[in-house]
A = this chain, B = another copy of it.
Amino acid sequence: MQFINKRDTLVTESLNGFLRLRAGSELARLGGEAGLNVIFDPSHNGDRHVAVISGGGSGHEPAHAGFIGKGMLTAAVCGDVFASPIVDAVLSGILAVTGKAGCLLIVKNYTGDRLNFGLAAERARALGKKVEVVIVADDIAIPGLRQPRGVAGTLFVHKVAGYMSASRCKLEDIAKAARHVAKSAVSLGISLSSCTIPALGREDRVPKGKAELGLGIHGEPGVSLIEFESALHASTLLVEKLFAAAPKAGKYAMLLNNLGSTTALEMGVIANDILGSSQGKKIKYCIGPSPAMTSLDMHGFSVSLLPLSAPVEKALTAPVAIQAWPGVAKVGAIAVRKIRAQARGKPVKPSADLAFSQAIAAACGALIAAETDLNQLDAKVGDGDTGSTFARAARGVSHEIATLPLADRGATLAELGNIFARNMGGSSGVLMAILFSSAAVRYKSDADLVSAFRAGLKQVQFYGGANIGDRTMVDALAPALECLEAGQGLAAAAKAARDGAERTAEMEKAGAGRSAYVSSRNLVGHKDPGAEAVALLLEALAKTAP
C-alpha cells in the first residue's frame, strides 16, 4: 500500500508535484512525450556555463531532480522506478541545456545507465555538442569488482562539477575534476529492511536480528547478512571498511545518507557513533544525515567518504540554494553549557508563624487521614491513587514544615509549590504546584492570600484545561474562593467547597483529568476525589482557623 494513483504515471505525477512547488527556484520540464521525465533549470545559460546533467532510475529521491539548481545539476533525466531513462530522454535533456560550453553527464555505473546515457552522448556529439561523460562507481561492497555500482558518492561529483560550472570552468577541467572525485569517493550501505517497490511491495528479506551489509539502492540484496548488534557496531563496521578502501588523506568529507525510512532519531545516533569514533576524527565535514540517494523506503543508511584537497573542499563547501542539499556541516565538539544555579532553586531561610504552621499541619493531617477513603473513591472513577497522591504531598509538607519560611507567606506558598512538585507526582502534583507557585507570584505584588489563590486557580484552569462543571477539584476550589472573595470567612468557604464536591457526584461527564475516559454510567453517584480532597482540606482549615 502506497500513496500513489497509477503505477504507470507515478514518476511523472511525483515530479509534477515537485514542479508545482518549484522547490524555491524556477524549474521546467520537457513536455509532449509520455514517460519523458526531463527536469531542468531553464535559466541556465549553456553558452557561458557547462551543463551538468545526471539522472537514472527514479526511487532515489531527492536524487536526481532535487539537486537541480545553480551550483549543482543543470538537468536531471529521470527513468521509471529503478530503470534507466531511454536514450531519447537523455538526448532531449542534453539538447535542452547544452550550449557552446558543452555538458558533463554524470552516470552511475549500471549497464542500463551507461548504455542509454552513452548512446545519447554519442548522438549529441554527432549533433555537434561537446559532451563528456563521467561514470561513478563508488560502492565498495564487493572488493575487487571491476564494475562497482554507483551509489550516494555520486552526490560529491554533482557538487564539485556544479560548483565548477557555476564558476565558469571549462568542460575539460570539470570533467577531469569530476573523474578524480568519482575515483576517490567510496560508499557502503547497511540496512535492516528491503524497500517497498511500487505495486510490488516489500520483500521480507532481512531476518529479525540481522542486517544486510553492502546492499544496492535498487533492492539488490546485501553482499552479506550480518548479526545486527547496535547502531554503534553497524556504524563502526561501515566506517572501518570505508577508511580501509578510501585513498589516504589527512581529512575527509562524509555524506551520511538516509536510505529511506530510517528515523531522524536513529540517524542522529549513527552520526554520534561515527563522529565519536576514533576513525571519526578524520572527518572534517559532514553532509547530512539526510535522505540524499535513497532506495525508496529502505530502513538503512549509507556512508560515503571523500578525501579532501583544497579545491575539493572549496567546491564541496560552497553554499547552494538547493533545498535537498543539506549543506556541509563542519564537524565539531558538542558545546555544553552549565545549568544556571537559579534553576535548581535557592535554599530558603526558615522562619516561624505559629498560626500558619498549625493551619498547614491540620490540612496535611486531614489529607493523610483521608488516604484510603480518597483512594477508594478514585478507584470508582479513575485509577485509585488520588488518596495516596495527596497523602504523599501532605507527608512531604509535614516533613519539611520546620524548614519553611513561615513568616513570609509568599515565600511559603512558593516553597509549598516546590514540595508538591517534588513529592506529589502525577498531573495533580503538577497542578497543585502550579496553584501554589502562581499564588506565590501574585502574593509578591499583592499580599492577599485570597487573590493569590484566585490567580493560582486561573493558571490551574489554563494549564489543566478544566472549567467549573468538569468534575475536577476546580468544582470545590472555585466556589470556596468566591466565598472568601465575598468576605464570608473560612467556614463558609469550606461549606461551599463541600457543596461543590457533592455536586460532582451528579456530573455525567468529566471534561478533564483521567475521569474523562470513564463513561457516565460509572461516574454518576460518585464524587470526584480531587474535589473531595479540596473540601476535606478546607474543612480542616476552617476548624483550626481563629
Binding site for B on A (CB under 8 A): 1-5, 10-11, 13-24, 26-33, 36, 40, 42, 58-59, 61-62, 66, 81, 87-88, 91-92, 95-96, 111-112, 114-119, 122-123, 125-127, 133, 146-147, 192, 196, 198, 208-209, 211, 228, 230-232, 234, 260-273, 275-276, 286, 289, 291, 294, 296-297, 299, 301, 323, 326-327, 329-340, 342-343, 414, 417, 421, 427, 430-431, 433-434, 437-438, 440-441, 459, 462-465, 511-512
B118 touches A336 (CB 8 A): no
A119-B433 contact, Cβ under 8 Å, with A4-B266, A31-B339, A269-B13: yes
Residues from chain B with Cβ under 8 Å of A196 in the complex? 263
7 contacts between A and B (CB under 8 A): A5-B273, A13-B272, A30-B337, A59-B265, A61-B265, A115-B431, A323-B326
Picked from B5, B26, B31, B326, the residue with its CB within 8 Å of the CB of A269 is B5
In the A-B complex, list the 8 residue pairs whose CB atoms are closest, starting with the nearest: A14-B268, A118-B463, A17-B272, A17-B271, A61-B264, A261-B261, A31-B336, A17-B268
Question: Which among A20, A332, A340 has the highest number of chain B CB atoms within 10 Å?
Answer: A20
Q: From residue A404, how far is it (CB to closest CB) to chain B in Å? A: 16
Q: Please name all residues of chain B whose beta carbon is closer than 8 Å to the beta carbon of A30 when the two chains form the complex.
A: 336-339
Known: A92-B343, A323-B326. 7 other contacts (CB 8 A): A16-B272, A17-B273, A26-B335, A31-B337, A117-B463, A126-B414, A198-B265
**In the complex the two chains form, is A1's CB within 8 Å of B209's CB?**
yes
Q: A58, A112, A271: which has the most chain B beta carbons within 10 Å?
A: A271
With A262-B3, A263-B260, A433-B119 given, is the CB distance from A61 to B268 under 8 Å? Answer: yes
Contacts known (A95-B340, A337-B29); A5 close to B463, Cβ less than 8 A? no
With a cutoff of 8 Å between Cβ atoms, the chain B residues found around residue A66 in the complex are: 264
Contact of A268 among B15, B40, B232, B264 (CB under 8 A): B15
> A264 near B463 (CB under 8 angstroms)?
no
Question: A3 contacts which of B1, B20, B270 (Cβ < 8 Å)?
Answer: B270
Residue pair B268, A18 in contact (C-beta under 8 Å) = yes
* Residues B263 and A111 in contact, CB atoms below 8 Å apart: no
Most B-side CB within 10 Å, residue of A28, A270, A434, A464: A434
Which single member of B23, B42, B133, B297 contacts A329 (CB below 8 Å)? B23
- Would B463 and A114 count as touching, CB distance under 8 A? yes
Contact present for B459 and A118 (CB under 8 Å): yes
Return A228 CB to nearest CB of chain B, in Å: 6
In the complex, chain B residues whose CB is within 8 Å of the CB of A266 = 2-4, 14
CA distance A266 to B4 in the complex (A): 6
Residues of B within 8 Å of A21, CB to CB, are 271, 275, 286, 329, 331
Q: Are A434 and B115 in contact (CB under 8 A)?
A: yes
On whether the beta carbons of B271 and A18 are closer than 8 Å, the reply is yes
How far apart are A509's CB and chain B's nearest CB, in angstroms?
Answer: 11
**Number of copies of this chain that the complex holds:** 2
B511 in contact with A146 (CB, 8 Å): yes
CB of A444 to closest CB in B, whole Å? 8
The residues of B that contact A123 with a CB separation of less than 8 Å are: 417, 437
Identify A334's interface contact among B20, B117, B333, CB under 8 A. Answer: B20
Q: A20-B332, A20-B333 are in contact. Are A14 and B208 (CB under 8 A)?
A: no
Which residue of chain B is the closest to A31 with respect to CB atoms? Answer: B336
Closest B residue, CB atoms, query A261: B261
Give CA–CA (A347, B296) in the complex, Å.
Answer: 41
Cα(A88)–Cα(B418), bound, Å: 11
Chain B positions within 8 Å of A414 at CB level: 126
| Nearest opposing residue in chain B for A207, CB measure | B1
Minimal beta-carbon separation of A451 from chain B (angstroms): 16
A337 CA to B291 CA, complexed, in Å: 29
Contact of A332 among B22, B297, B339, B438 (CB under 8 A): B22
**B337 pairs with A265, CB closer than 8 A:** no
The distance from the CB of A297 to the nearest CB of chain B, in whole angstroms, is 5
**Docked pose: A261 CA to B463 CA in angstroms:** 33
A61 contact set on B, CB distance < 8 A: 263-265, 268
Residues of B within 8 A of A271 (CB): 17-18, 20-21
CB distance from A332 to the nearest CB of B (A): 6
* Given A4-B231, A115-B427, A339-B92, also A269-B433 (CB < 8 A): no
Pairwise interchain contact B430-A118, C-beta atoms closer than 8 A: yes
Asked if B22 contacts A330 (CB within 8 A), the reply is yes
Given the complex, which residues of B lie within 8 Å of A438, measured CB to CB? 122, 125
A465 touches B264 (CB 8 A): no
User: Given the known A-B contacts A119-B437, A261-B297, A430-B118, are A269 and B10 also in contact in the complex, defined by CB atoms under 8 Å?
Assistant: yes
Q: Which residues of B contact A264 (CB under 8 A)?
A: 14, 61-62, 66, 291, 294
Q: For the complex, what is the distance from the CA of A192 to the CA of B1, rounded to whole Å?
A: 7
